[in-house]
Amino acid sequence: MFQYSSKSLFSPVREELKILFLLVVFAAAFMTSNYLVLAVLFVFLTALLVLAGYKDFFKLFASILPFLLLADLGFFIFLSDTSLDLVQLTLFSNLRILCIFTATAFFTFSTDIFALLKLMKKLYFPEEIYLPFYVLFRFLPEIEQDLSEIIGIQKIRGISKKRPLFYIKSILLPLLFTSLQKADDLAIAYYLRKKRETN
């Protein structure tokens, strides 16, 4: 879902321009207070994803939908006794999150993380800033692949969504263990590299 594609139409575009584009979209999404502008921005970003060659829109928006519904429910539960217009608040927040999410999907789909890291090193960014980005974009596709494999294995074992709590537990626990194992391996590799550099 979030994996870089070298076949994307926007892959050859310089990383500096893509970062600037992402910052402009984030600023526009947070600064505008007009429904129409946010809706047009969302449609524009979705069209950019289509032009880039992205195809898995159902998976993309299905992953953000539960979060949006939970956030909206939270607004109505915790802010119902305030004078805020909750319908307007949820509409604005949903449109803003969708714009940011779509812009991030476009950025990660069309930007090579290694080229981005080279740019950050060239600009003398501290390692504490660019290393988390590398880890995030490098391991998100692996975690996503692990998740689909775990779901497939649980289907073979006969575990279905008929028992939702057991189903979620049977997927999240193995995913947690594999993610922790990968994090542990990564931490050891980083520690050994740093130790080698200091010697």
Tell me the pLDDT tens digit for each residue of 106-137: 888 888 877 877 888 888 878 777 777 677 66
Nearest CA to 67 out of 56, 78, 79, 75 is that of: 75
139 vs 133: CA distance, rounded Å: 10
Residue 120: its pLDDT value, please?
80
pLDDT band at 2 (very low <50, low <70, confident <90, very high): low
13 vs 21: CA distance, rounded Å: 11
> What is the distance between the terminal CA atoms of the chain, rounded to a whole angstrom?
40
Q: What is the DSSP letter of 126?
A: -
Residue type, 147: L
Mean pLDDT, rounded, of the chain: 83
pLDDT tens string 6-60: 777 788 888 888 888 988 999 999 898 888 999 999 999 999 988 888 888 787 7
Residue 122: its pLDDT value, please?
83
Burial class from Cβ neighbours inside 10 Å (0-12, 13-18, 19+) for residue 89 reads: middle
For the cut 60, the answer to whether the pLDDT of residue 1 exceeds it is no
Which whole number is the average pLDDT over 61-85? 81
The reported pTM is 0.67
107 vs 37: CA distance, rounded Å: 21
184 vs 126: CA distance, rounded Å: 23
Residues in the chain: 199
12 vs 19: CA distance, rounded Å: 14
